Structure 1
Amino acid sequence: MTLRLGPRPLPLHLAAAAASLTSGIAALPLSRNASPGSKPLWPEPLRRAAERLASLPPDAAGAALAREATRRAAGFLTGLERYIRHPYRRGLPEAPVLWRDGSARLRDYGSTEGGPADGLPLLVVPSMVNRAYVLDLTAERSLLRFLSAQGLRPLLLEWDVPDAAERDFTLTDVLLRRLEPALDAVLAAAKGPVGLLGYCMGGTLAAALAARRPDDIAGIAFMAAPWDFHADAPHQAEIGRMAAAASLAVIASLGVLPVDGIQALFTTLDPLTALRKFSAFGRLAPGSPEAERFVALEDWLNDGIPLPGPVALECLAGWYGENMPGRGAWRIDGAPVRPEAIRRPSLHLIPARDRIVPPASARALAERMPGAERIEPTLGHIGMVVAGGAETQVWRPLAAWLAAAIRTGGTTSPARPKARRSAASRSRRAPAAPAGRRNRG
């Protein structure tokens, strides 16, 4: 059995966990020497812990912290080892390929769940930094197979490792040489306007595609699609610029931003996520369904795709650094991408617990599109696709909305989806905002 390499990049996660677990021991002298006036400013749990430690003799306090750090480290390493050795392997049959060019493929999910092969056509665009099969993760957690069973014909644009020619691709190349030809292949198979669904970065790309080809699109659904990259996160500007500068030498050498580099950037959002989730995984029964679901999702997270060098720099410096989409300055083939000019029905699924795409960033796209519908499920960025509550809160209203939009060919707005919305989304018919306006959510 081939062992997994662990969460990527493993050295970074191990270093973050070690720093966290030993920080209490290192900070013990500081907690004892802190001035009385500073302690009221500490968070209440920290203040109480410091007071308990201060009541112990110095040697006893240090020994207690060392024992607890050792216990937690053992739990974390147990979870890591169980993940690395877990027998689960994804075994879903692949959907047939309808079209391919370079490393990109268009997979036809039209009849995977017994649905009609001539179902309502839907081009699905995922992010370029992760494998597309998060939308088809397991037999029980497959958004694409669910949509197929509802009478839709999902056609998934599947990204793969860039070939030699694709390493020089810009975002304009991605649109003109991959997305538009994929849309043409869907149109040839469908013989009429199609639905469009974009997830995460794929939603941002889908907006650019719809702006260029509005007559071919019946309706567009966005799932956690970032647009204003500084909304609720102005620090992203400096992080984006620093990340772009740090990536220059690697990209110059390899032609791509490698998977571990991308994963390291995601880790900065929450450096201790591996410590928490693998410690919890180690407490699960290894053969339980919960453990298998964890492994399935973790395998996907670690099965990333390198980004073409120019695309990576455009995203880091242009999107995150300069907020070009949010400011109305993002251009494809020289033309600005204007969501407010897309006169097609749109549905925006904005997960309220998203830590990867802040909800305010995704709301900014909805506010720029006339007549946009919003649903804000009480789920996270990935949970909206694979969590237990995803079918009720996301899949069913999404399927109903897409079917109505495609059937009408985009000539009328679909009926409002029946799904619970957060309080923020109940006043969702906001006027379109001028390009560059920042929505603070």
Structure 2
Amino acid sequence: MTSSAAPFVPSPEPIPSAVMPAPSVESAPAPAPTAVPAPLAAPETDEQKGLNVETFAHNLAQLVEESGKAVAAYLAPREAGHTDDLADDIADALKTVGHVAEYWMTDPQRAVEAQTRLMGGYLSVWAGTMKKLAGEPTEPVAAPDPKDSRFKDEGWRESPIFDALKQAYLVTSNWANDMVKEAEGLDPHVRHKAEFLVKQISNAVSPSNFVLTNPELIRETLSSSGENLVKGMRNLAEDISEGGGTLKIRQTDMTAFEVGRNLALTPGKVIYQNELMQLIQYTPTTASVKKTPVLIVPPWINKFYILDLTPEKSLIKWLVDQGLTVFTISWVNPDARLAAKGFDDYMRDGIMAALDTVAIASGERRVHTVGYCVGGTLLASTLAYMAETGDDRIASTTFLTTQIDFTHAGDLKVFVDEEQLAVMERKMKQMGYLEGSKMASAFNMLRSNDLIWPYVVNNYMKGKAPFPFDLLFWNADSTRMPAANHSYYLRNCYLSNNIAKGKAELAGVKLDMHKVSVPAYSLATREDHIAPPKSVYVGANLLSGPVRYVLAGSGHIAGVVNPPAKNKYQYWSDGPIGPDYDLWLEGAQERKGSWWPDWLNWFASWHPDEVPARDVGGGRLTPIEDAPGRYVKERS
């Protein structure tokens, strides 16, 4: 593959049954740890600790009262006849872990060796703790990763008891991980699932997640005389009630933001709509614009305004200000009436309908397209369909963290096998769609130590409100997926990789990605847990046209939403042409700051011509309503 700018080649948050590309979001900064008293100092009085016994007793009574409200919120839907849908997931998890246990338990000697290894670790921790209590220097048996924020509080190091607790936990979790890695004869998918499950269990049972085993939480409880626990239980009851009997953990203050009030503010109009989408055209801010308009295809699993957050972070606003005519699709939040809508419907009534409308509004037959995440997968499939049918309306394209080949799709693959898909499809058939919360849970589990457990500790044990954060508001603003569309996506991408293999069909046409020859810009992000950079690179190599592959710093969201003014992160480009991602990365050039200007230079090299700025609708279409439109405001 080659680049127009330089020779190229393709330059990185309950156990659900579903998968989704949408979203993994960087979490808000954790609060700085407070000071810890010396571990062997004389015991403090209750007054010194801030503990008021009378207040503490009163708060304990309130805690019991609030816990009753939480239990009532949990039981209410069940008493009304609603049942949990976790039984199949739990059964699948037990079956997976059972394969690992079977390997170790069928050989007595192997089982004894495993137990001896674990007990040896515990004895080493105990011996080190005795030395530390005696004032002797000692090296830890197990130490957390320097990036692990769970144990940053000084209490985990200064107190021999908490240090021992931390090390015993790390010894246990490392041992459990080794048991999976060393189990021979496991199916690769079963091993992957087992590794993921063990990680989730290890993260859940961390001593940092419990009041009595976390020095920071103990201090918090004593200094507030237990008021933190009362507030935390109140938060828990509210979140269970908000989730309809299922815990819906708040990651941000959901009252701090509103789409159309302080998010998605770029001026524009909805100029077309059907049952699947609204099409928005944005108001120009420059006297002249690039002749070739830009159509953005966002993921339908999330809402489009990730690309139009606050004005300072908005990629859409930045593109408009650079002199581009920008259109974006805003997908509907579907209900059971759209259950039968499939991938081909999203192509036909989404991308194809949008192309028709862009041509009318702009007066231009040919368009540049931008696809983000699963929206990019749909766009790539549409390009293959158009190549097969002789439709050349797309002049060039950009893929943002888009997978076309799912061989290296990462941890989301643990949720997809024939058994899990059969269970999920049965549930979707009953409802007509997949609840957005299922997808959100899957994404959060990819980074549970960033997107789940810090909020459990902050909200329910410290009793604090989560910090207002626009990215996390968007992350919580989930959407549903039509049953037919989601099933097609999981089966043809994650399960069988049919799109990459040339075995998938859309509207009766077999897709061959090698026939896609339009110029393409493919962006990956280095820390992406949803669309790993190697996976994006392999998919970009399927295309036969000139491709510029660029690797941005940070993750699936922050790596994309990275305005130049902030001068954050970096990007890599211009690695050696070839199918090997590691060789490309080794030879790529690192550049500071945002990838946005690099993209603009690439786009201008293919589409340099300019015309006077266009009116919204082009005088041919009557606007329906102001951007961002009503589809994006519908909550699940």
Structure-1-length-normalised TM-score: 0.72
Shift of 1:367: 0.8
> Are the counterparts in 1 of residues 524 and 533 from structure 2 also a CA contact under 8 Å?
yes
Alignment of 1:130-209 (within 5 A): 130-162=302-334, 165-190=337-362, 191-209=364-382
Alignment of 1:27-38 (within 5 A): 34-36=118-120
2:520 to 334, 346, 350: 346
Tell me the distance in 1 between the aligned counterparts of 2:352 and 2:442.
Answer: 29
Residue 502 of structure 2 corresponds to 328
Tell me the distance in 2 between the aligned counterparts of 1:55 and 1:271.
Answer: 23
1:262 to 430, 439, 446: 439
1:305 aligns with 2:479: yes
Change in 2 beyond 3 A, CA 1:263/1:39:
farther
Residue 602 of structure 2 corresponds to 401
Change in 2 beyond 3 A, CA 1:390/1:153:
farther
2:532 to 342, 348, 358: 358
Structure-2-length-normalised TM-score: 0.51
Change in 2 beyond 3 A, CA 1:373/1:65:
same
Tell me the distance in 1 between the aligned counterparts of 2:115 and 2:220.
Answer: 21
What is the SS of the residue equivalent to 1:375? Answer: strand
Residue 439 of structure 1 corresponds to none
Shift of 1:66: 5.3
Deviation by residue 1:196-222 (Cα, 9 ceiling, x = unmatched): 110101111111222233511111111
Shift of 1:291: 5.2
Q: Percent identity?
A: 21
Residue 211 of structure 1 corresponds to 384
Change in 2 beyond 3 A, CA 1:317/1:95:
same
1:225 aligns with 2:375: no
Change in 2 beyond 3 A, CA 1:110/1:337:
farther
Tell me the distance in 2 between the aligned counterparts of 1:82 and 1:54.
Answer: 28
Tell me the distance in 1 between the aligned counterparts of 2:314 and 2:398.
Answer: 17
Tell me the distance in 2 between the aligned counterparts of 1:198 and 1:55.
Answer: 48
Change in 2 beyond 3 A, CA 1:363/1:56:
closer
Residue 316 of structure 1 corresponds to 490
Change in 2 beyond 3 A, CA 1:114/1:299:
farther
What one-letter code is carried by the residue in structure 2 that aligns with 1:375? V
> Are the counterparts in 1 of residues 335 and 433 from structure 2 also a CA contact under 8 Å?
no
Change in 2 beyond 3 A, CA 1:211/1:228:
closer
1:65 aligns with 2:65: no
Residue 369 of structure 1 corresponds to 543
Residue 382 of structure 1 corresponds to 557
Change in 2 beyond 3 A, CA 1:152/1:82:
closer
Residue 143 of structure 2 corresponds to 45
Shift of 1:334: 2.5
Deviation by residue 1:361-410 (Cα, 9 ceiling, x = unmatched): 1112211113211111112110123244379422222222223323479x
What is the SS of the residue equivalent to 1:36? Answer: helix
Change in 2 beyond 3 A, CA 1:379/1:276:
same
> Are the counterparts in 2 of residues 203 and 223 from structure 1 also a CA contact under 8 Å?
yes
What is the SS of the residue equivalent to 2:301? Answer: coil
Alignment of 1:234-313 (within 5 A): 236=413, 239-275=416-452, 278=455, 292=468, 294=469, 296-313=470-487
What one-letter code is carried by the residue in structure 1 that aligns with 2:501? R
Shift of 1:270: 2.4
What is the SS of the residue equivalent to 2:500? Answer: coil
Gaps of 5+ in 1: 1-6, 13-29, 410-441
Deviation by residue 1:285-337 (Cα, 9 ceiling, x = unmatched): x99xx955x2x111111112111101111122331112222323222122232
Shift of 1:52: 4.7
Shift of 1:81: 7.4
Gaps of 5+ in 2: 1-26, 28-72, 75-83, 85-113, 126-139, 146-150, 170-206, 222-227, 237-248, 571-592, 611-636
Tell me the distance in 2 between the aligned counterparts of 1:103 and 1:232.
Answer: 27
What is the SS of the residue equivalent to 2:416? Answer: helix
What one-letter code is carried by the residue in structure 2 that aligns with 1:364? V
Tell me the distance in 2 between the aligned counterparts of 1:381 and 1:54.
Answer: 35
Change in 2 beyond 3 A, CA 1:342/1:242:
same
Tell me the distance in 2 between the aligned counterparts of 1:37 and 1:44.
Answer: 9
What one-letter code is carried by the residue in structure 2 that aligns with 1:373? R
2:275 to 89, 102, 111: 102
> Are the counterparts in 1 of residues 304 and 330 from structure 2 also a CA contact under 8 Å?
yes
> Are the counterparts in 2 of residues 225 and 357 from structure 1 also a CA contact under 8 Å?
yes
Change in 2 beyond 3 A, CA 1:375/1:139:
same
Bigger drift between 130-139 and 225-234 goes to 225-234
Residue 416 of structure 1 corresponds to none
> Are the counterparts in 1 of residues 251 and 455 from structure 2 also a CA contact under 8 Å?
no
What one-letter code is carried by the residue in structure 2 that aligns with 1:363? Y
Change in 2 beyond 3 A, CA 1:120/1:145:
farther
1:337 to 511, 518, 529: 511
Tell me the distance in 2 between the aligned counterparts of 1:363 and 1:33.
Answer: 41
Tell me the distance in 1 between the aligned counterparts of 2:496 and 2:326.
Answer: 34
Change in 2 beyond 3 A, CA 1:105/1:40:
farther
> Are the counterparts in 2 of residues 115 and 149 from structure 1 also a CA contact under 8 Å?
no
What is the SS of the residue equivalent to 1:364? Answer: helix
Q: CA RMSD in A?
A: 4.3
What one-letter code is carried by the residue in structure 1 that aligns with 2:365? G
Residue 430 of structure 1 corresponds to none
Shift of 1:262: 1.5
Change in 2 beyond 3 A, CA 1:141/1:314:
same
Tell me the distance in 2 between the aligned counterparts of 1:189 and 1:109.
Answer: 11
Residue 46 of structure 2 corresponds to none
Shift of 1:277: 5.5
> Are the counterparts in 2 of residues 281 and 291 from structure 1 also a CA contact under 8 Å?
no
Shift of 1:83: 3.2
What is the SS of the residue equivalent to 1:304? Answer: coil
Change in 2 beyond 3 A, CA 1:203/1:72:
farther
Tell me the distance in 2 between the aligned counterparts of 1:280 and 1:141.
Answer: 29
Change in 2 beyond 3 A, CA 1:360/1:185:
same
1:87 to 256, 263, 268: 256
Shift of 1:33: 10
> Are the counterparts in 1 of residues 290 and 608 from structure 2 also a CA contact under 8 Å?
no
